[in-house]
Amino acid sequence: MPDPITILLTAVFVNNFVMVQFLGLCPFMGASNRLDSALGMAAATLFVMTLASCLSYLLDIWFLVPLGLEFLRIILFIVVIAAVVQFAEIVMRASQPRLHQGLGVYVPLITTNCAVLAVALLNVNLATSLLDALFHGAGAGLGFGLVLIMFAAMREHLEQADVPIPFKGTPIYMITAGLLSLAFMGFTGM
């Protein structure tokens, strides 16, 4: 089994959740129109992913596997993720009212970010210890944040670029995301 650092780096670059595994594309497209909101979203997602990864891993090895209830994984993991997101929102509203105001509806929407659920489900096969789960979750969150911020920066530049009319808006974002994805494919085999 690879060591935690390898798991972290793999999740960030080689198996990047957005660019290589194509998970969490909705917030990737939705929350990347401004660099500052992308930063906030990246931080919130990193927090939720790391915490949800650890908690769902513990839930899995303490309750689901011993009781033979593996079929409940998806439902219970979703419940855990929703709880962590709620918790994150409460914390954020108390400590960073301005940021909370700025992110608006995107914080509750982390619940429906499939990349978060994917981390929890992939842990079942990948993680052999809590440390693995922690690093896997953090790596996935960092990878998501990395491409989100990169893409937001590119979009801010695209705003100024002279894009042909048929490509304006979503089409050019899709093409850009595709090229970014190709670049990340280059990490495969490292």
Which positions lie near another protein, rule CB under 8 A? 59, 63, 67-69, 72, 75-76, 79-80, 83, 86-87, 90-91, 93-95, 97-98, 101, 159-162
Q: Which is nearer to another protein, 76 or 180 (CB)?
A: 76
In whole angstroms, the minimum distance from the beta carbon of 29 to another protein comes to 22
Q: How far apart are CA 107 and CA 111, in angstroms?
A: 8
Q: Cβ distance 106 to 17 under 8 Å?
A: no
Q: How far is the CB of 190 from another protein (least distance, A)?
A: 35
Q: Provide the token pair at 112.
A: 């429906």
Q: Which is nearer to another protein, 19 or 84 (CB)?
A: 84
Q: How far is the CB of 43 from another protein (least distance, A)?
A: 18
Give me 139's structure tokens. 């790596």
Residue closer to another protein by CB (options 3, 63) is 63
Nearer to another protein, 38 or 59 (CB): 59
What are the residue ranges of helices labelled H in 32-129? 35-59, 65-67, 73-95, 97-103, 106-109, 114-126
Closest approach of another protein to the CB of residue 25, in Å: 27
